[in-house]
């Protein structure tokens, strides 16, 4: 039993190390996509390898302790659960980016729409173009005059509108019919889509923010967990300690 505890703790520490490596690579990629282009983006091979190592480390944790698995990998959220969370006025839109193809699901109480999207590289390139165009106003430039600055910003705005239309064709239009049904849109994003200003994307000739209330959620599982009723008779206790998953 004591050996099992030590083994689980060792695997958990390795998982955390691998997770920090993935986070660092994602941070470097985000900086490289910034308008100021800080540093060089890590290669897709490096990111894929780091994610594979993280998943392998996580698999070892799960195999070593059922209790660790229960804490770190809660049950998957079903379509029926998502529809219940969405209620009568919301559509939950979730993206999953893949190397050869990507996917989107739009879930509401009335049904599910899904579509196959282009590969991660195509979508993330479009997202990066939009991010650079939207943040161009923040770039420092030695404009010769007020008119020069105005012209530069107007050009940036035109580029942002064009980039928004291009990205919307990739990730919004395939499930646009279902999205149009919701007064609220909740996006669960993946990868570089976390940098996308969804309020700026068009749907049927109008910005999403004009007709919908928008929100981001970390995951469907988190949304489900936050909606679980709490026992009013139970108090709240905060504990800071090293985790022990087997006693």
Distance between CA 89 and CA 13 in Å, rounded?
42
7-27 residue pLDDT tens: 667 888 888 888 888 888 877
What tens digit of pLDDT does each residue of 139-149 get? Answer: 666 767 778 77
pTM for this entry: 0.60
For residues 95 and 10, give the distance between their C-alpha atoms in angstroms, rounded to a whole number.
33
pLDDT over 50 (residue 2): no
Question: pLDDT over 90 for what percent of the chain?
Answer: 25
pLDDT in tens, 154-175: 888 888 899 999 999 999 999 9
DSSP assignment of 39-103 equals S-PPPHHHHHHHHHHHHHHHHHHHHH-HHHHHHHSPPPPPHHHHHHHHTTTEEEEEEE--SS-EE
* pLDDT tens per residue across span 193-221: 988 999 999 999 999 999 999 988 877 66
Write the CB contacts of 83 (distance below 8 Å, at least 6 apart in sequence): 107, 108, 109, 112
Q: Which DSSP string do the residues of 174-189 spell out, in sequence order?
A: GGHHHHTT-SEEEEE-
* Range with the largest mean pLDDT of 50-64, 71-85, 99-113: 99-113
CB 46 within 8 A of CB 21: no
Gyration radius of the chain's alpha carbons: 22
Q: At what angle do helices 2-33 and 120-134 cross, to 10 degrees?
A: 60
pLDDT band at 99 (very low <50, low <70, confident <90, very high): confident
Q: For 99, list phi and psi in degrees, rounded to 5.
A: -65, -40
The pLDDT confidence band at residue 247, using thresholds 50, 70 and 90, is very low
Q: What is the pLDDT of residue 149?
A: 74
Residue 35 above 60 pLDDT? no
CA 136 to chain centre: 23
Q: Which long-range contacts (CB under 8 A, 24 or more apart) does 26-34 make?
A: 29/192, 30/192, 30/195, 33/128, 33/131, 33/132, 33/192, 33/195, 34/131, 34/132, 34/135
Of 13-27, 58-72, 120-134, the range with the lowest mean pLDDT is 58-72
Q: Which two tokens stand for residue 68?
A: 């660790």
Q: Report the distance separating Cα 151 and Cα 145, nearest Å.
A: 10
Determine the pLDDT at residue 80: 62
> CA–CA separation, 172 vs 164, rounded Å?
10
Which tokens is 112 given? 């599910």
How confident is the prediction for the chain on average, in pLDDT? 79
């Amino acid at each position: 039993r004591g050996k099992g505890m030590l083994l689980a703790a060792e695997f958990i520490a390795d998982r955390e190390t691998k997770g920090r490596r993935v986070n660092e690579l994602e941070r470097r990629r985000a900086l490289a996509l910034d308008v100021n282009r800080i540093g060089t983006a890590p290669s897709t091979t490096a990111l894929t390898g780091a994610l594979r190592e993280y998943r392998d480390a996580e698999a070892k944790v799960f195999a070593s302790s059922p209790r660790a698995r229960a804490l770190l990998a809660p049950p998957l959220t079903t379509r029926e659960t998502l529809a219940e969370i969405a209620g009568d006025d919301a559509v939950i839109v979730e993206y999953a980016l893949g190397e050869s193809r990507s996917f989107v699901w739009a879930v509401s109480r009335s049904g599910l729409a899904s579509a196959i999207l282009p590969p991660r590289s195509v979508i993330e390139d479009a997202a990066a173009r939009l991010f650079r165009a939207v943040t161009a106003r923040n770039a420092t430039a030695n404009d010769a005059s007020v008119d020069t600055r105005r012209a530069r910003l107007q050009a940036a705005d035109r580029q942002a509108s064009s980039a928004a239309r291009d990205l919307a064709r990739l990730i919004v239009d395939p499930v646009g019919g279902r999205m149009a049904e919701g007064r609220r849109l909740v996006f669960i994003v993946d990868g570089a889509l976390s940098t996308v200003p969804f309020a700026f994307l068009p749907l049927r000739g109008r910005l999403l923010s004009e007709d919908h209330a928008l929100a981001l959620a970390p995951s469907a599982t988190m949304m489900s967990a936050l909606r679980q009723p709490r026992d009013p008779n139970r108090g709240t206790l905060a504990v800071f300690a090293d985790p022990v998953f087997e006693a």
